[in-house]
């Protein structure tokens, strides 16, 4: 199957990317080229094959519940584009 212009727009929205009209057109071909590559996988019989999410499976790694040193609030906020009163500042998300 091939992605239409509308499909690319929808995926961009899901990806939180506000693409320009030119970018939507430019991205369509490489995306479809990749999808075409993926068709090769449909040739394989994978019935009953367990999926591998991690090559070296480790399960539920827990640490002791003890206090350790962590970054200070100032250090954490030092890279924020905008901060105030020890918090990150974001645009208003609730209307008056």
Q: Is 18 in the site for another protein (CB under 8 A)?
A: yes
- CB 85 to another protein: min, Å: 16
Q: Is 51 in the site for another protein (CB under 8 A)?
A: yes
- CB 92 to another protein: min, Å: 8
Interface with another protein (CB under 8 A), residue from 22, 56, 84, 96: 56
Q: What residues contact residue 5 under an 8 Å CB cut-off, 6+ apart?
A: 24, 25, 28
- CB 52 to another protein: min, Å: 4
Q: Is 40 in the site for another protein (CB under 8 A)?
A: yes
DSSP string, 33-85: HHHHHHGGGGGS--TTPPP-S-SS----------------HHHHHTT-SSEET
């Amino acid at each position: 199957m091939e992605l239409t212009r509308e499909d690319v727009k929808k995926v961009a929205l899901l990806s939180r990317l506000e693409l320009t009209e030119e970018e939507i057109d430019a991205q369509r071909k490489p995306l479809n080229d990749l999808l075409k590559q993926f068709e090769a996988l449909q040739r394989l019989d994978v019935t009953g094959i367990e999926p591998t999410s991690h090559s070296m499976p480790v399960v539920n790694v827990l640490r002791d519940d003890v206090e350790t040193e962590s970054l200070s609030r100032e250090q954490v906020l030092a890279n924020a584009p905008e901060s105030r009163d020890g918090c990150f500042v974001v645009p208003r998300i609730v209307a008056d």
